[in-house]
Amino acid sequence: MNDNELFDLMCEKLYTAVVSDTLDELGHRNQVMRENIVPLSLEWIVAGRAKTILAVDVHHIPENPYEKEIAAVDSVKPGEIVVGCTNESKQNGLWGELLSTASKARGARGAIVDGLIRDTKKILELDFPVFATGTKPVDSKGRGLVIDYDVPVVCGGVLVYPGDVIFADRDGVVCIPQNLVQEVVEIALDKATRENHTRDELLVGKTLREVYDKYGVL
């Protein structure tokens, strides 16, 4: 199964809660980003490889303020999700319509930003899944500067390495370490199936104790 098939399967069959539970079972209990990183559309479900971008706040307009930002977006590969670390900036509107358009055209599956974004109407029309902490209609020039990309970043309190798998839906954003992806997906698919059986039997009147003893999920 190639990456795109895997990511499509995750989006069809899984949800962040079951993936988070699976990571907990494997001893990785800090893989869910902060609750304030939310999607523009609650309908969006997205999975892909982390393409990390690191930005910092600035208080001047540097020479060539977009140089690293342009290079980062132009290097996006199919199947990636941009993970934009702004160090939770309240002044930098890192992401917007044009970066979303350029990323989508290069095959990106979405973007996760631990800060503010703009052009949300256009992003929604583009149907490019973007998760962020809020909106602010400001340009990054003179407020934030991309200083590196394809490096480990902390986004929403989670350490993300390039190539980790990001999975996100209306409940939140989960980061799966790349060496655990196959194991996590296999366990999560099994758990999701058992949860479906549990739900079906609860609906016909079985007690929670009965179905928990049978399927072992809650």
Q: Do 110 and 173 meet the contact criterion of CB atoms below 8 Å apart?
A: no
Domains of the chain by start residue, with CATH: 3-176 (3.50.30.40), 185-215 (no CATH)
Over residues 40-76, the pLDDT tens digits come to: 999 999 999 999 999 999 999 999 999 999 999 999 9
- Binding residues are 96-99, 118-119
- Angle at alpha carbon of residue 34, lines to 192 and 97, rounded to 5°: 95
Return the percentage of the chain with pLDDT > 70, whole number. 99
Q: How far apart are CA 195 and CA 18, in angstroms?
A: 9
Q: How far apart are CA 34 and CA 31, in angstroms?
A: 10
Question: Would you state the pLDDT for residue 192?
Answer: 85
- Give the CA count within 13 Å in the CB-facing half-sphere of 71: 12
* Residue 135 burial (10 A CB sphere; 0-12, 13-18, 19+): middle
- Binding residues for substrate are 96-99, 118
- Angle at alpha carbon of residue 49, lines to 125 and 185, rounded to 5°: 105
Question: Would you state the pLDDT for residue 105?
Answer: 98
- Binding residues for Mg(2+) are 119
pTM higher than 0.85: yes
Question: What average pLDDT does range 128-157 have in this prediction?
Answer: 97
pLDDT: is 38 or 207 the higher one? 38
C-beta atoms surrounding 201 within 10 Å: 16
Residue 211 has pLDDT above 80, yes or no: no
Q: Do 51 and 147 meet the contact criterion of CB atoms below 8 Å apart?
A: no
Question: Would you state the pLDDT for residue 198?
Answer: 74
Helix axes 3-13, 181-203, angle to 10 degrees: 20
Question: Would you state the pLDDT for residue 81?
Answer: 98
Question: What average pLDDT does range 159-182 have in this prediction?
Answer: 98
